[in-house]
Amino acid sequence: MRTPPQPPRGPTPPRGPASPQRGPAGAKPAPPRAAPRKPSRRLPAWLARAQRLLLRPAQEWQAITPEFATPGPIYSRYIVPMAAIGPISATVGTIVFGVRNSIAGSYGMSPGDAVTSGVLEFGLNLLGVYLFAVLIDVLAPSFGGQRNRVQALKVAAYGSTPYWLGGIVALFPKLSLIGGVFALYSVRLLALGLPPLMKVPRDKTVAYTLLASIAGVILVLIIGPLTAVVVGR
């Protein structure tokens, strides 16, 4: 007996889009990746240290005391950029306003003289902080402390931080003398830094700080007029 013929098949219907492949049973889809974070901007090391000396000086002096250092790195990593703030600000302010104010008085100055004065002031700042360190070192035994030239340079450099930061006010010649107010905070930094670094007894810290501060003021009083004399004013 013959099998009846099968009816012809129609065209195959089109298939829908392929379903996505599934992972193992119970697996959850991976969460979308977060966009990479931009690296945070950090202050330069010397400016970060200046900030810590202003905001938490006692803790920062404790960190500074045991640091092994030589005069070269102290100068290149801290003193040079800090000592440049005042001269650069005064030079820019003088070029813009044509007048420079200092302890020697107010006087007009050409742009060329302003640059010359700024370079000279910067050089005298570098010399002044070294002389300040020498005085701190020489005075230490008189107050029961220990002589150590590197530690004395640390005190002179880091203790002068408010004075140097105040130099930015020199951008505006009429306000330049106000920067001296910032220097008053340097006295507090010296009082906190001298005992741990120069091994001075606490009961002699006040007298040591007072004498060291007077020495620092004398150096500042010498630098300003000397700069004016050299540039011919």
| In contact, 141 and 131? CB cutoff 8 Å | no
pLDDT of residue 117: 86
Phi, psi at 62, each rounded to 5°: -65, -35
pLDDT of residue 48: 95
Identify the DSSP state of 100. Answer: E
73-116 pLDDT per residue, tens: 999 999 999 999 999 998 998 888 876 666 555 666 778 888 98
Long-range contacts of 94-102 (CB under 8 A, 24+ apart): 94/118, 94/173, 97/172, 97/173, 99/173, 100/173, 100/176, 101/170, 101/173, 101/174, 101/176, 101/177, 102/176, 102/224, 102/225, 102/227, 102/228
175-187 pLDDT per residue, tens: 766 767 777 899 9
* Mean local confidence (pLDDT), 4-12: 53
| Residue 35 identity | A
Give burial (CB, 10 Å; 0-12/13-18/19+) of 14: exposed
Q: Is 175 helix (H, G, I), strand (E, B) or coil?
A: helix
118-131 pLDDT per residue, tens: 899 999 999 999 99
pTM for the complete prediction?
0.77
Write down the domain spans for the chain: 56-230
Distances (CA, A) of 53 to 61, 65, 124, 188, 189: 8, 13, 24, 11, 8
Helix (H) or strand (E) holding 127: helix 111-139
Confidence of residue 1 (pLDDT cuts 50, 70, 90): very low
Confidence of residue 20 (pLDDT cuts 50, 70, 90): very low
In this model, does residue 148 exceed pLDDT 90? Answer: yes
Residues 6+ apart with CB under 8 A from 79: 126, 129, 157
Lowest mean pLDDT among 20-34, 133-147, 217-231: 20-34
